[in-house]
């Protein structure tokens, strides 16, 4: 059974750091590009960062470039978030896609985790 489980969300003060984890099971993580997304209602879900399969090329949206770092090991993809801002407050999701071009479309992703909440206080 394919599963993606996010963890690491918390309440943190502005300027602080968090590391989110996305643990995969039921499939070979290295075969897939993994994306981190976030959603803060009423906004739509938006992409944050992506790491490609086999080689690990990465992509960051402008809003997080220079502050967030995506990485992966055998079974987990991480999102290191530094210099957090109140506007980073959202539920963060990871998802997988077989597509290797960066950045992928949100519609390219077939399995999603349940999300982990990040709250940044000012």
Q: What integer pLDDT is reported at residue 54 of this predicted model? A: 76
Residue in 103, 18, 25, 115 with CA at minimum distance from that of residue 69:
18
Q: What is the pLDDT of residue 27?
A: 95
Note whether 35 and 47 are within 8 A (CB).
yes
Choose among 93, 84, 109: nearest CA to 32: 109
**pLDDT for the residue numbered 53:** 85
Give, for all 122 residues of the chain, the pLDDT tens digit: 999 999 999 999 999 999 999 999 999 999 999 999 999 989 999 999 999 987 679 999 999 999 999 999 889 999 999 999 999 999 999 999 999 889 999 999 999 999 999 999 99
């Amino acid at each position: 059974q394919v599963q993606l489980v996010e963890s690491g969300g918390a309440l943190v003060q502005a300027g602080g750091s968090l590391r989110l984890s996305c643990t995969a099971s039921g499939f070979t993580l290295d075969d897939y590009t993994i994306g981190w997304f976030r959603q803060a209602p009423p906004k739509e879900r938006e992409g944050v960062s992506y790491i490609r399969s086999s080689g690990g090329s990465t992509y960051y949206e402008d809003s997080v470039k220079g502050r967030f770092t995506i990485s992966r090991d055998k079974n987990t993809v991480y999102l290191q978030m530094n210099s957090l801002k109140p506007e980073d407050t959202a539920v963060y999701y990871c998802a997988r896609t077989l597509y290797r071009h960066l950045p992928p479309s949100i519609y390219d992703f077939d399995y999603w985790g349940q999300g982990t909440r990040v709250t940044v206080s000012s």
